[in-house]
Structure 1
Amino acid sequence: MMIHWLIQTIDDHPALKHATPPEGLLSDQEWGIFTQLKTEKRAHDWLMGRWTAKQLLHQLTQAPHSTIRIFNHANGAPYCPDFPQYSLSISHSGDHAVCAVIEGEGLQVGVDLEHIEPRIDAFVEDYFTPEEQASIHQCEDKDRLVTLLWSAKEAALKALHIGLNIDVRAINCSLDTEAAEDWNPLTVSYAQPDSLTTNWYDGVPKTSRGQASGWWRQEGEYVLTLIALQTETAQ
C-alpha cells in the first residue's frame, strides 16, 4: 500500500498569500466555485488545498494543473474525475495545506493536519474515549498527544467519508510505538458506518466495529496523520 503525500505552505506560491488563484491552476468549473466563496479565509484555505492537491497529482501524472479538476462529493470528500484511480484527501491548518493520495481498487485515504496547542480538560472529557483519556493522563507531552489523537479521529472520519456530525468517540485511537523521527504507526477502531449515529457511544457491539492502520509524524509545530481503508469496510 503506497500513500503519496505533499505538504505546502503559503510561501510556496506568492499568489496564495493574497487568496489569488495562481495562473493556470483552476478549470472554468473550479473558477465558478471559487467566486462563490464568501470569506477570504475560506478562499485562502480552498486555494491552498487545491494548489497542494494539484501539485501532488501533477507529480504523479504529469498532467497540467488546469486539467486536474477537483470537486467534492455531497459528503464533502474531494475527488478527481480526471484520475478516478486515485483516492485523495485534503487538510489545511494555519498557513499549511496537505494532500494525500492512494491508488488501488477499493482503497480510501484520510489525512489531517493539526497545530499543536493546549486544549481544555472539558475538550478531552467530551470527545475522547476512556482509553484515550487514560493515555492522555499518563503522557508527559499532553498537548501533542491530544492534538495527535484528535487528528487521527479527523483523518479516520475523512477516510470513512463521514463528517463531524457524529459522536467522535466512535473513533478510538491507540499509538503502537514511541515517537520516532519519521512516520509512526497507530491503530484506529471505529463503529461500522451503519452504526455511526449521534448516540453511538451508548453502546455498539464489537461485531459492528472495524479497525484500520494509520501513521503519524510531527511537522514542526504540526501533527500530520494518515489513515487508509478498504472500501468494503468504509462503505
Structure 2
Amino acid sequence: MIYTLLQSSAAHPDLATGRVPLGLLTPAEQAVFEGLKSDKRRRDWLLGRWTGKRLVQALAEGYFCIGHGVPLDAVEILPAEDGAPTASLLTNHESRITLSISHSHEHAFCGLAVGVPLGVDLERVEARSEGFVRDYFVGEEIALVEAVPRESREGVVTAIWSAKESALKAIRLGLSVDTFAVKCLPQGSGADWSPVLIEWDLSKLQRAAPALTGWWRVWKEFVLTVAITKSSQEFPPIPISSGEMGIYGSL
C-alpha cells in the first residue's frame, strides 16, 4: 500500500514562522532542528516533519492497531546514515515504515509504505531551459518533451525531473548519481494519477536496483510523483478522505 499526505505551511500557525509546534518533536529531533542554520531550512524541515508525523499518526490505528490518539511526539523521524528520513513509533511495535519527504514553496508532500522501497517528490511547474533538458534527460525523455505541445512542455519536463528524483530516493541514492541512470516517461495528462514508466541503466548506476513503478499527477501549480517497487501494490494513490490536501492511499 502507498499512503501520501500533502500539506502547506498554513496547516499550523507556527510552521510559517519556523517555530516548533507544541508536542511535535522528540528530544532527538529537537537537537537536529537546533542544528539547522537557515530560517528557510528550519521552516521546510518542520513542515516535512509535521506532515510526515500526521501521516504516520493517521495510519497508526488502522495498520498497526495501536489505538486512538497517537501523539505526534511518539512518532520519531530521524535521518539514516545515507540521509534518508527514517520513521519509527516510540513503542514496542515493529513498524517497518518507509517514509519519503519532499518540500517545495511552503508545501510538503510525504509518502509512506510498509516494508518496501518508496520515493516521492513535489516540484512546482517552472520553465526550464533546453540546456537543462539536454544535460539531465536521456534520449527518449527528450523525444517525449519535444513531442508534446509547447504549452504542455513545462509540465512534462517537471514531471520527468520529479519522477527521476522519486526513483532515486526510492533506492536511497538521490541526486548523488547521474540522472542518466534512470529513464522516466510520464504517461497521460496528469489530470489524475497517471503511470510513469521507469527503467534503470545499470551501467551508469553501477549497482543493482529494484524494478519500480511510478505515478504522477498535477495539483494546482505543482507536480507530484511517487515511485515504488513493482512487487508491491501497483494501483495509484486514490483519495481516502475529502479535501484537496487530504490523505491519499493505494487500497
Smaller-chain TM-score range?
A: 0.7 to 0.9
- The CA distance in 2 between the partners of 1:89 and 1:126, in whole Å, is 26
Name which of 113, 122, 125 aligns with 2:131: 122
Letter in 2 for 1:175: P
- The CA distance in 2 between the partners of 1:209 and 1:25, in whole Å, is 35
Q: Structure 2-normalised TM-score?
A: 0.82
Per the alignment, in what secondary structure is the counterpart of residue 148 of structure 1? helix
The one-character-per-residue Cα deviations of 1:24-62 (angstroms, maximum 9, x if unpaired) are 000111111111100001101100100000010010114
CA pair 79-73 structure 1, distance change in 2 beyond 3 A: same
Per the alignment, in what secondary structure is the counterpart of residue 14 of structure 1? coil
Name which of 89, 92, 109 aligns with 1:98: 109
Cα deviation, residue 195, structure 1: 5.3
- The CA distance in 2 between the partners of 1:11 and 1:210, in whole Å, is 37
Letter in 1 for 2:193: W
Cα deviation, residue 17, structure 1: 1.0
Any unmatched runs of 5+ in structure 1?
201-207
Name which of 76, 79, 87 aligns with 1:69: 76
Cα deviation, residue 134, structure 1: 0.5
Cα deviation, residue 211, structure 1: 3.3
Name which of 117, 138, 148 aligns with 2:159: 148
In structure 1, the partner of 2:25 is: 26
Letter in 1 for 2:56: L
Cα deviation, residue 180, structure 1: 5.1
In structure 1, the partner of 2:121 is: 112
Residue range with higher mean Cα deviation, 74-83 or 148-157: 74-83
Kindly tell me the number of residue pairs found equivalent between the two proteins.
Answer: 217
In structure 2, the partner of 1:133 is: 142
In structure 1, the partner of 2:189 is: 179
Q: Assess if the C-alpha contact under 8 Å between 1:118 and 1:143 holds in 2.
A: yes
Kindly report the root-mean-square deviation, in angstroms, between the aligned alpha carbons of the 2 structures: 1.9
- The CA distance in 2 between the partners of 1:97 and 1:80, in whole Å, is 16
Q: Assess if the C-alpha contact under 8 Å between 2:195 and 2:214 holds in 1.
A: yes
Runs of 4+ in 1 over 4 A off after TM superposition: none
In structure 2, the partner of 1:213 is: 213
Per the alignment, in what secondary structure is the counterpart of residue 80 of structure 1? strand
Q: Assess if the C-alpha contact under 8 Å between 1:188 and 1:212 holds in 2.
A: yes
Cα deviation, residue 81, structure 1: 3.0
Q: Assess if the C-alpha contact under 8 Å between 1:112 and 1:226 holds in 2.
A: yes
